[in-house]
Structure 1
Amino acid sequence: MSTPSSPCIGVCTIDDGHALCLGCGRTLDEIAAWGTLSEPQRRALMAELPARLAADGRPALDAEAGHP
Structure 2
Amino acid sequence: MAIQSPCVDVCRIDGQSGFCVGCLRTREEIREWKGMTDHRRHEIINDRARRAAKLPATAAPATQTSAPQTS
Q: Distance in 2 between matches of 1:47 and 1:20?
A: 14
Unpaired runs of at least 5, structure 2 = none
Unpaired runs of at least 5, structure 1 = none
Q: Distance in 2 between matches of 1:52 and 1:43?
A: 14
SS at match of 2:4: coil
RMSD: 2.4
Give the TM-score, by structure 2 length: 0.68
List structure 1 segments (4+ residues) > 4 angstroms apart after TM superposition. Answer: 59-62
Q: Distance in 2 between matches of 1:7 and 1:26?
A: 8
Give the TM-score, by structure 1 length: 0.70
Give the length in aligned residue pairs. 63
Counterparts of 1:24-43 in structure 2 under 5 Å?
24-43=23-42
Identity across the alignment (%)? 33
Cα distance change, pair 59–35 in 1 and its aligned pair in 2 (3 A): closer
